[in-house]
Amino acid sequence: MRRGLSGFLAALGLLALMAAGAFGQVPSWKPLAQDDLHDPAGPAVNLLQQPAAALSVLPPDGAGNMVRWVKALEEGHIQPRTALRQQTKVQVYDKDVLLNLKGGMPVVRFPHKAHTEWLDCSNCHDHLFKKQAGATKISMFRILSGEQCGLCHGAVSFPLTECSRCHSVSHAQARKELEGQSR
């Protein structure tokens, strides 16, 4: 019974995945007047910059803004300011944290560096995550409902459909890294 249900769900899921893939090649940057958000009758659609004009020249990606933002920053395609007035330096912290060590999905590598290039520690600590690896109870359901990692990923940063960008480390590799650290 259970088996039948899960088999059905899996088949359904795979079918839908394939269907989604087939429609996946739609041009990504809609002109503002056709984006279903800006008022085509207003003056702004002729004055604002079109997303395609700015984004098509940046390192490409397959989802979200279709821009690999980490690379765009790293390679200097964009130089976003770090402060409005006095040039306070961003505090970059270069430590990866491995999450989801026990799950069935591959382990999640959380890169502090990619985040602290953009964000301040106070954007995450301690109201979203504790400052201790493994101390926060993180769950994929909460992420999908827009909490924890899903606060940004799913709204502004690369979207949650990119499973493997977070679930990027095999369990064997993760074990190796953790053993290396404890030695």
Q: Out of 56, 139, 145, 170, name the contact with other proteins by CB under 8 A.
A: 145
Tokens of 143: 């992420």
100/103 Cα distance (integer angstroms):
6
**What mask, x for binding other proteins by CB under 8 A, covers residues 57 to 86?**
------xxx-x-x--------x-xxxxx--
CA 176 to chain centre: 25
Dump the DSSP string for 151-181. GTBTTTBSPTT-HHHHEEE-HHHHHHHHHHH
Among candidates 123, 132, 125, which has minimal Cα distance to 152? 123
Nearer to other proteins, 159 or 175 (CB): 159
Nearer to ligand HEC, 8 or 82 (CB): 82
Q: Is residue 46 within the footprint of ligand HEC (CB under 6 A)?
A: no
Q: Is residue 151 within the footprint of ligand HEC (CB under 6 A)?
A: yes
Q: Is residue 174 within the footprint of ligand HEC (CB under 6 A)?
A: no
Q: Out of 33, 45, 66, 152, name the contact with ligand HEC by CB under 6 A.
A: 152
Q: What is the DSSP letter of 105?
A: S
Nearer to other proteins, 152 or 177 (CB): 152
